[in-house]
Structure 1
Amino acid sequence: MARKLTVAFQGEPGAFSEEAIWAYFGAAQVEPVPLPDFEAVFETLEKGQVDRAMIPIENSLFGSVHVNYDLLRAHAVSIVGELELRIRHHLLGLPGSRIKQIQRVYSHPQALGQCQAYLRTHLHHAEAIPAYDTAGAARMVAEMNDPKAAAIAGLRAAAKYGLEVLASGIESHPQNYTRFLVLARADIEPPKGPPGTMKTSIVFALRENVPGALFKSLAVFALRDLDLYKIESRPLVGMPGSYLFYLDVAGSVHEQAVQRALDHLAEVAAFVRVLGSYPRGRRVD
């Protein structure tokens, strides 16, 4: 029997990241490896203790997971795939609990943010308490055995920890998707794909913060008719007022137009690093 691919994720069994692993790889192909925090996920992958990692990078309601942008730059890993997963949040409590009893709601800060409209409307009397993971919050509530406590998590977590669904679909908008990245060690060869199916993620810093510097950097892609899917800025640690820029650009490093754009960018930027070239991800509902 072939060895299953080991895939690290942050959180407890039943987390949405684990669901993303099943959706991307197929349950028969992988062995999810739960870890307590994102730093541990990156370090475990970088050391070769797992084959792959799955991390959330942005949510359509609550924005980017900034810590993972920082960790992508800090560790020798490479993006090799992506997936958009529909996130359905549920209010979970002990069997027999009632919503009017709930005084404390535990969940990951991203999940609390994605459900803030429901919390304001239906649980304004309850305290929202951040936890390190949605499934971890469900586990905490089960272990507390307190009918006044509830968690926001998915159905897998409810089944895993024996909780009851008190309210379903409590996210602030039904079009609630989280984009996940599949990571491998940095020494892996970038996957290839037909033109029009690939994207490349990079990070770069400007040589100096002067008028037109960012425009000139982005122009290297416009000159070659390369679409930009996203641009994200993050502060450059130790240099107040300076920023790193993360870009997702259409195409692969194996394509001449992308390679020439990156060469051109290297001439005008302080540094450029390719974080990965990978197939554009599918959306899973």
Structure 2
Amino acid sequence: MSKPTLSLDEIRVNVSRIDQELLSLLAERRKLSLEVAKSKIQTQKPVRDIEREQVLLEKLVANGKSHELDPQYVTKIFHTIIEDSVLYQQAFLQRLANPDNEQPLARVSFLGGKGSYSNLATRNFFARKHTKLAEIQCSSFKEVLEMVETGNADYGVLPIENTSSGSINDVYDQLQHTRLSIVGEITQPIEHCLLTAVDTQIDQIEVLYSHPQPHQQCSEFVRSLGSGIKQEYCSSTAEAMKEVAAMAQPNVAAIGNAASGELYGLKPLKFGIANQQENHTRFIVVARKPVEVTALIPAKTTFIMSTGQSAGSLVECLLVLRNHGINMTKLESRPVLGNPWEEMFYVDVEGNMRTDVMIEALEELTKITRYIKVLGSYPIENVAPTEIDV
């Protein structure tokens, strides 16, 4: 076997050099995507051009094969690059559409302390906006909303649904009575693991701390620990990690994020303990004033409505959306607090509230519902990967 022509240190130097070149090229590409956004203002073309993305990816995959690069590897990399480009352009266009919202510092309320999933979602959302944060930790969803309603926070971040445990009903119930508007959303990957403060074994764990949602999302793993396991419910995953760190006992553990656990001196005992490995939570961002969504980017509108008690009243409302070609992405029913047997329906649709189609649909719905209220129209920030045959 021949010896390598370069030493390990020399190889690492070359790898580092290439990494720096890649970063420079990515930054240059990002600047060009901003120029693309400016040109689309003039032509009024939408930010995304799926057909062009497909052609681009197919060419890249073909060129990648000539360099012996796996097609899946190439598409994964460029899906990430395209997603960043789309979100970067959308953020730029939204800043132009909402100049009054420009501020160097945003006060944001969220559930839990540092390292909670709401805290991670908050940081990721506002990192895209290039906005500095003043973080306001809250102990309940109600407090998150109250901080914004009273002017003590500019924004509030709330989890609304999870791919494993479904809708987060406490948040839906709070939204019935808020005067705030939904101004954004972000989908956050949830990576649950078992965290402990001291070295121990899984069969020694007797008490498990976390927020009720992670307990539910990891129910199969919890059952595998045996019937004797005691589940303690905390106001957030951050509070659970703080509790376990303070006790520093071999028989107690927390469910939370591994990187967040490091903030509290916790170590992961077992990774991937959620019922579903593809576990994501959708968060909404609320503010006192609605945002204007430019027609160049895809928008989502959320509204609540109360239908009549007669048979087929809900179907009649849904037919209005279908007849206007409006795609519904979410329908959730919740009881109206204080009114037994009456339900409020939460509806998410793909569409901008200021378009003629949405205006006409909402006018029709107003005529056939007992109550309807738009909670917000905001940019869709879940950039679906462009599909190609590889």
Both proteins in one fold, TM over 0.5: yes
Q: Deviations along 1:60-109, whole A, 9 cap, x unmatched?
A: 00011111111112111110000111100010111212212110001111
SS in 2 for 1:282: coil
* Structure 2 match to 1:12: 113
* Structure 1 match to 2:342: 242
SS in 2 for 1:129: strand
Q: Which runs of 5+ in 1 are unaligned?
A: none
TM-score normalised according to structure 1 size: 0.94
Contact 1:59 1:179 in 2 (8 A): yes
Contact 2:182 2:377 in 1 (8 A): yes
Contact 2:198 2:249 in 1 (8 A): no
SS in 2 for 1:19: helix
- Paired with 2:247 and 2:383, the residues of 1 have a C-alpha distance of 36
SS in 1 for 2:243: helix
Residue identity matched to 1:29: K
- Paired with 1:177 and 1:189, the residues of 2 have a C-alpha distance of 26
Contact 2:192 2:256 in 1 (8 A): yes
Residue identity matched to 2:171: N
SS in 1 for 2:370: strand
- Paired with 1:139 and 1:226, the residues of 2 have a C-alpha distance of 46
Contact 2:240 2:254 in 1 (8 A): yes
2:253 to 133, 150, 161: 150
Please state how far the C-alpha of 1:144 moved relative to its aligned partner: 1.7
Identity of aligned residues (%): 33
* Higher strand residue share: 1
Q: Assess, with a 3 A threshold, how the Cα gap between structure 1 residues 195 and 124 changes in structure 2: closer, same or farther.
A: farther
Q: Which stretch has the larger CA shift, 189-198 or 54-63?
A: 189-198
Please state how far the C-alpha of 1:125 moved relative to its aligned partner: 3.7
TM-score normalised according to structure 2 size: 0.69
- Paired with 2:230 and 2:212, the residues of 1 have a C-alpha distance of 13
* Structure 2 match to 1:73: 176
- Matched residues, number: 280
- Paired with 1:216 and 1:196, the residues of 2 have a C-alpha distance of 30
Contact 1:92 1:152 in 2 (8 A): yes
1:49 to 147, 152, 158: 152
Q: Assess, with a 3 A threshold, how the Cα gap between structure 1 residues 283 and 150 changes in structure 2: closer, same or farther.
A: farther
Residue identity matched to 1:8: S
1:25 to 2:126 alignment = yes
Contact 1:91 1:153 in 2 (8 A): yes
* Structure 1 match to 2:141: 38
* Structure 2 match to 1:58: 161
Residue identity matched to 2:200: S
Residue identity matched to 2:241: A
Q: Which runs of 5+ in 2 are unaligned?
A: 1-102, 385-390
Contact 1:15 1:156 in 2 (8 A): no
1:85 to 188, 194, 199: 188
* Structure 1 match to 2:263: 160
Higher gyration radius (CA): 2
Please state how far the C-alpha of 1:238 moved relative to its aligned partner: 2.7
SS in 2 for 1:56: strand
- Paired with 1:279 and 1:28, the residues of 2 have a C-alpha distance of 17
Structure number with higher relative contact order (C-alpha < 8 Å, ≥ 6 residues apart): 1
Q: Assess, with a 3 A threshold, how the Cα gap between structure 1 residues 40 and 124 changes in structure 2: closer, same or farther.
A: same
Supply the RMSD in Å over aligned alpha carbons. 1.7
Q: Which stretch has the larger CA shift, 121-130 or 40-49?
A: 121-130
- Paired with 2:110 and 2:314, the residues of 1 have a C-alpha distance of 34
Structure 1 residue runs of 4 or more that deviate by more than 3 Å after TM superposition: 122-125
Q: Which stretch has the larger CA shift, 162-171 or 92-101?
A: 92-101
SS in 2 for 1:190: coil
1:190 to 2:291 alignment = yes
Residue identity matched to 1:227: N
